[in-house]
Amino acid sequence: MNLSPPYRPQDSGISREGSLLRMTPQRQEVYRMLLAKRDHPSANEVFMRVRGRLPNISLATVYNCLEALVEHGLVKQVNFERGSSRYCPNLEAHGHFHDASRGVIVDVKFKPGMTLADVLELPEGAVIQDVEINLRGQLGLA
């Protein structure tokens, strides 16, 4: 998979879910930025970062790209309370810890072999499509 511009049709087809995702220059750059700095940026933050390489990109296009990446399973959308959505390229099952006083969100791993089903009484016969675990608080000193 080639993520460098210029865009060439043969770059298309990145996806982890149903249909293929056409990897346009805009989507490439948005995805690249998410991989480069994994600090859970908002759409607007992605917009500002991406403008360095694509000065003509619009915020609406950033939203479109993020939506496409999320729909194709390359990126996770993270929502804390009613704040703006944030985006995370970590595809492993994990939660998020938000320290508002430091203004950071960090990934929280599962203990090896553990899942939510080990602690929750899931409804009988339920099919789970997606799980979201959000913690709020203060990180330790380190």
Backbone angles phi, psi at 36, to 5 degrees: -70, -40
What is the binding site for a copy of itself (CB under 8 A)? 77, 79, 81-82, 85, 95, 97, 99, 106, 108-111, 114-116, 118-142
How many degrees, rounded to 5, is the angle at CA 59 between CA 132 and CA 47?
A: 70
For residue 85, how many other CB atoms are within 10 A of its CB?
Answer: 14
Q: Output the six-digit token pair for 110.
A: 């599962």
Total residues at the site for DNA (CB under 7 A)? Answer: 28
Contact stretch for DNA (CB under 7 A) within 24-32, 101-109, 110-118, 131-139: 24-32
Choosing from 42, 95, 106, 110, the residue that interacts with DNA (CB under 7 A) is 42
Residue placing its CB nearer to a copy of itself in the complex, 36 or 135: 135
